[in-house]
Each structure stands twice: as structure tokens, then as C-alpha cells.
Chain A
Amino acid sequence: MKHVLAVLVENKPGALTRVSGLFSRRGFNIENIAVGETLTPGISRMTITVEGSETLIEQVMKQLHKLINVIKVSNLSAEPSVMRELMLIKVRAEVGNRSDIQQIVETFRGKVVDVSPNSMVIEVTGNEEKMEAIKLLLEHFGIMEVVRTGKVALLRGSKITRET
């Protein structure tokens, strides 16, 4: 099963290396990872997607917690949460099929963020299924390049992932 972990870390040099190194040396697989600042200066939040059994995830969380720069580790998959990812897709687009592409993009509530004589760049956010679905539909036109941010997530409701 896939688990999404929220990891709050002190924003110190090497903190990301410490976290990613831990995954590789203990044989845990990171599916994706997204890092950004939090409301508190000096603290970053990593959102890490890991595939594994409950026992493995427990071990991953405990090992992460042992890193001195790691302040808090929580498993967002264990509770209701919203998860989103942003993807940019560069797709082949001639004058003749631009409106077809436009229609698909609108259906997925995406945006066209760049147009050239023979390509378009589309921005779309959502969960994994949505990403896969739009990719599938655009394949027919020819996808030239894709870039994804990795998942970010928050708990639903007023509950927050605290730093203590």
C-alpha cells in the first residue's frame, strides 16, 4: 500500500540528503518527494510517498524520527486528507487539433499556460488518477514532455500537523 508521510525538518544544510540517504541505505523506496517551506521560518515540510507494508512504514517513520533534524513525522494516509500534485505536459498541437485539446483540458479543469505553432503546455493539478487520465487522453496527440512536482498533502478539517 502507498503511504504519504508529512515530515517536518529543520531547514539545515544537508537535511534533504539525510532524509533521502536514509531511504536508500535502508532499502525503502521513495515514490516521490516534495519539499517546501512551512509557516515557521527555518522549518521545511517534506511530503514523501512510500510503498510498503504497515510494518515497513512503521520502521520508516521511526528511522526518520531518529534523524536529529527531523522534528515530526506523521502518516497522512492513516487519516482523511487531501492530496494534490501539479503536472506540466507539453503536447503536440497543430492549428487543427488545438480546440480538441482545449476541450480535454477544460474537462480536467487544467490550464493552457503556453502555446507555440506546434505545441501547447498544459498545467493540471489533482490526484494520481486524474494525472493518469489526462495523460492517457492527450497521448493520442503526442506527449513531448512531462514534469510532476510529487504529491503534497494536508489533513482534512481543522486538524494540523504540529511541530511538537
Chain B
Amino acid sequence: MRKKKIKGSNMILSALQKENVDIIFGFPGGAVLPLYDKLYDDPVKHLLVRHEQAAVHAADGYARVTGKPGVVFATSGPGATNLVTGIANAYMDSVPMVLFTGQVAKSFIGTDAFQEADITGITIPVTKHNYLVKDAAELPGILAEAFYIASTGRRGPVLIDIPKDVFDQEGYFDYNREVDIRGYKPNYEGHVGQVSRAVKAIRKAKKPVIFGGGGLIRAGASEALRELAETAKIPVILSLMGLGAYPGDSPLFLGMPGMHGSVTANYALTEADLIIATGVRFDDRVTGKLESFANNASIIHIDIDPAEIGKNVAIDIPIVGDVRLVLEELVKKLRPGSTDAWLKQISTWQSQFPMPLGSGKNGQSLKPQFVIRELSRLGGENAIVATDVGQHQMWAAQHFVVREPQTFLTSGGLGTMGYGFPAAIGARLAAPDKRVICITGDGSFQMNIQELATVVHNDFDMIIAVINNRYLGMVRQWQDIFYEKRYSYTSMEGSPDFVRVAEAYGAKAFRATTNEEATAAIEKALTLKGPVLIDFMVDPEENVYPMVAPNHSISDIIIGGERI
């Protein structure tokens, strides 16, 4: 007996149920009215944000914490185009996500109708795949494919654009999660021969280093990584995206490499004779000048995406596969190793070049590094941190001790100011048992400040730490170093009083201008329920060090204006 026909809107909501979606992030509008109408009676939760961009970032934060695809609803035209930054952000950082946009009715497509935008055309370059649904009969297949594509292989956002009349069109709903797509067959098992070659190279290496990234977190490979590092006594460097994949307080952890990475991490990559690169893509912020990157090392590169292998850096032993499965294979074949001399060299660097805590030139002023360290010391236990983009992001990466995977959310590839606050909202919904701390800047925060309404209305427990230096600090830093201190339009003069803004929205808020006040404000915030904002008035001209100038070798490091 054939099942009853149902409407397109109902198909979508049924598919969400089958995919175990428990929350939708969205913002309604004309073209998605039929879908929102069905949502009115549906048990699935929906979080109403105040700007579509926040919906994508929140879904992104949710997806990074849970590993499940984040789900977004938005309307056609401006609703859809407001998603684009968030989609590009998720695409660059390989975050699983399924987005639904309403579209003008089929008969209006191509006529420049009210609130019409070609969102599938616009998002081809920033989605893993996308669809324009012309007939409700295609919907069940497309829905299953979208969730499958988003959450397998190298994760990424998938957008489904649905004309208003298709929401109301009826069809049969046969949903099969077992999809078979001819042009999409991710490879999970590493090539046996290449794995053996990697094992031999690791056994032979005198100065090996593991360089891991976001791929470790997406693949759930932390445990395998830990076994590899600890069995073979190999130190671990993590990219910004990889932070948390290995405990930040482990003696084998050397920090982040690259432009604002630790001196030890950069020296270790430069001196290593073997780099085991796992789930990384050798971004320019990591490698610095390519010609002088890791010239002494053979490189093993393990990644789910074959296109990343050999893209920027020549690879000696490529292994395409799921990094967790491949690392587990490696661990099985490895014997305990001894790298004592190398580890000794590394600990010498570590004691010689600790992470700088800030210049002393302004004496009494509150240092951003101190604020991050206090947040980590007092609130770091069982916490998820979401950062925005800029100086505070780098200080967070350098000074916040991240112990667990999926607890450090940051916009790595796209570098999206405005990401952190909504991502923290996603984290709040994803992990009710964890503390959520948003570390933001006075510039970034104003890019999605309207979401104060969302956190207050929903009474979300979270600390919003504004590292307020009254500048677009990272840009100012570059103007300081590379443009003779010509601070062209980087002053944030004219920003509001964030404490009063937060209070106007109904949140609690404090200001801290000294070390004592900072510590006290954090301690107090930790005891409070609901959203709490702390406005940390930090030294306005503090720079992020260490620093490697763009297109310089990563061993050519500047600290406090001096080459070391």
C-alpha cells in the first residue's frame, strides 16, 4: 500500500526528525512562511536569532561541539544572502551544516521578483554542494543526500533552496538515509602500503613531530592521537583549528605554529626530520614562506581530502583516509619509541622562549594576556570557548588552556569577525552541562551585538568577555609594524559603553580596568546565572607576539619588536 502524500514542508520536518535534529537556527520571512507555519505545531526546537548571519554561526558552533550538522532556516533574497558569510566560514573550516532557504515561487524565478536572489548560484563556491528543488517529488532524495554529504568525508555546508510553492506541493515521502551518490565516495581506510611506509619513517625518525589540525576534531581522533604521541614519544603541535585535539597542559604539547604560534612549535617544525601532518591543510598562516618551510623534514600527510595533499607543500608519504582510522592503524604497528635527545632540545626552547605575557611599557595597565589567563585559570574547567577574530583570538589561542576537543570554537580559515558570540550561542544549546565563555573584541562584538537580545530572552548562561582595546587591534598592529604607525581608520572611537548596552538588553555586566578588578569580575561572573558581560579595558596598544611577518620563514620570529 502506498503511503499518503504529504506537503514539501512536512517532508522537511520529517527528514529533520529522521536525522535526529533537535534544534533549528533561523529567521522567518515571506518565502519560508509555509515552512514556518508547519514548524508552529512541530516539536522540534527553533532558536530565533536577530540576524541571519548569527543563525549560521550559531549552527556552526552547535555543529563543532556536537559533530552533528547544524540546521538553518532563512527566507529568500536578503535572508539567504545574509547567510553567505556564515556559509563561507563553515566551508573554510569544514563544518557540517544543512541550510534551508525559501525561494520565490517557481513561476517567478528569473524575473527579478521581490526578495529574489540566486542563492544556489551565489553559494556554489562556498558550499560542499547545493540544490534548487523544482519538484517536491525530488525532496526526500535531496534531503537525505544533503545530510549525508554534509556529515561525511570532509565535512561542509550544504544548502537547499526551496521555492515557496514547492513547500506546499504534495508528494510521497520515502526517506532512505542510505544514499548512493555516483560522484561522491569518500575514502576512509588508509592505503596499507602507505601506512607501512609511515610506520617505518616514524621508527627511523630522530626528531619527529606531530602537526595536527581541525581534521582530528571532526574525525574524533583525539584518543588515537594521544596514543600515537605517548607511545612513540612524539611532541604535538596543533593548528588554531586543532586546539583541544590534544591536552593543552600536556608536556608533549608545544602549542600552535605559524604567524602567532609558539617559538618552540616553529623551531620544532623547522628542525624536525619527520612531520606527521594529520587533518591539516598547510595554511599560509602556518607555513610562512613555503620555500623555507620544514626543509629538513620528510612529511607524512594524512587527510580525508585528497585535494589537500600536495596542494601547498610537497608530501613524501600521502595517506588519504579518515584520520582516526589511519592513526589507529599507525598506533597498532608502532613500538614505544625513544626521542629523548629531541625532547630535551624542545624543553630547552620551551624554557628559553615562554609565551610573552605582554610588554611592560604601560606599567599599570590591564594586559589582555592576563585576562585570558585568568579566564582560563578560574573558568577553564569544563568550559567551551568561542572566540571572535583578531588579537583577542590569538591571545585566546596562546593563553587559554584547551584540554578537550570540540571546546575551542574559532573562525580559522575565513577569519570572520562576528563569529564568536553567535557560535557561543550554538555551543550553549549543544552542551547544556558545560560553561560557555565567549572571548571577543570591541570590534568583533559589534558585528553581531544584536544577539544580546537572543541570549537575554532565552536566559542563556554564558560569559561574554570583551577584550576592549578601543581599536581594531590586529589591523592596528599591522599598521604599527608595517605601515609606520599610520592608524588609518582602526580606532573604534565612538563605540558604546558595552556595560550599559548589555544592561539595556537586560544582561548583567561589569567593567574591569585593573588586574584586581579583572580577577574579581571573572570570579563574580562565574557565580551568576544568565548572560554576563565583562568589559575588560585593556592596554590599547598591546601587540600579539610572537609574530612571524607574512611570507617570512617561520623560524624568523619577532617578539616585542625584536627579532630573536
Contact = CB atoms under 8 A, between A and B. Distances in A.
A161 B149 CA distance: 26
Interface in B441-471: none
Nearest to B307: A62
A24 B125 CA distance: 10
Interface in A1-54: 9-10, 13-14, 17-18, 21, 25
A62 B132 contact: no
A18 B183 contact: no
Interface string B170-192: 00000000000111100000000
A55 interface: yes
Given A55-B310, A59-B307, A63-B307, A10 B120 contact: no
A71 B183 contact: yes
Interface string B128-156: 11001010000000000000010000000
B310 to A, nearest CB: 7
A25 B310 CA distance: 19
A10 B129 CA distance: 13
B311 interface: yes
A58 interface: yes
Nearest to B305: A66
A137 interface: no
A58 to B, nearest CB: 7
Nearest to B154: A66
B477 to A, nearest CB: 30
A98 interface: no
A58 B310 contact: yes
B127 to A, nearest CB: 10
A68 interface: yes
A68 B121 contact: no
Contacts of B134: 13
A92 B249 CA distance: 81
Nearest to A17: B124
A25 B149 CA distance: 22
Contacts of B129: 68
Given A62-B306, A63-B307, A14 B183 contact: no
A10 B182 contact: yes
Contacts of A88: none
Contacts of B121: 14, 17
A110 B181 CA distance: 44
Contacts of A163: 182
Contact of A71 (B182, B307, B311): B182
Contacts of B125: 21, 25
Contacts of A13: 132, 134
Nearest to B126: A25
A17 B121 CA distance: 8
A125 interface: no
Interface in A126-164: 163
Given A18-B124, A21-B125, A67 B310 contact: no
B181 A68 contact: yes
Nearest to B125: A25
Contacts of A18: 124
Nearest to A42: B182
B510 to A, nearest CB: 46
Given A65-B306, A68-B129, A68-B183, A59 B311 contact: yes
Nearest to A13: B132
A45 to B, nearest CB: 14
Contacts of B306: 62, 65
A82 to B, nearest CB: 26
Contacts of A65: 306-307
Contacts of B311: 59
Contacts of B120: 14
Nearest to B309: A62
Nearest to B121: A17
A21 to B, nearest CB: 6
A67 B183 contact: yes
B184 A68 contact: yes
B318 to A, nearest CB: 11
A66 B124 CA distance: 13
A63 B310 CA distance: 12
A52 to B, nearest CB: 14
Interface string A55-80: 10011001101111111000000000
A144 to B, nearest CB: 35
B339 to A, nearest CB: 33
B307 A70 contact: no
A13 B138 CA distance: 13
A70 B183 contact: yes
30 contacts: A9-B183, A10-B182, A10-B183, A13-B132, A14-B120, A14-B121, A14-B124, A17-B121, A17-B124, A21-B124, A21-B125, A25-B125, A58-B310, A59-B307, A59-B310, A59-B311, A62-B307, A63-B307, A65-B306, A65-B307, A66-B305, A66-B307, A67-B183, A68-B128, A68-B129, A68-B181, A68-B184, A70-B183, A71-B183, A163-B182
Interface of A: 9-10, 13-14, 17-18, 21, 25, 55, 58-59, 62-63, 65-71, 163
Given A21-B125, A68-B149, A68-B184, 15 more contacts: A14-B120, A14-B121, A14-B124, A17-B121, A17-B124, A18-B124, A21-B124, A25-B125, A55-B310, A59-B307, A63-B307, A68-B128, A68-B181, A69-B183, A71-B183
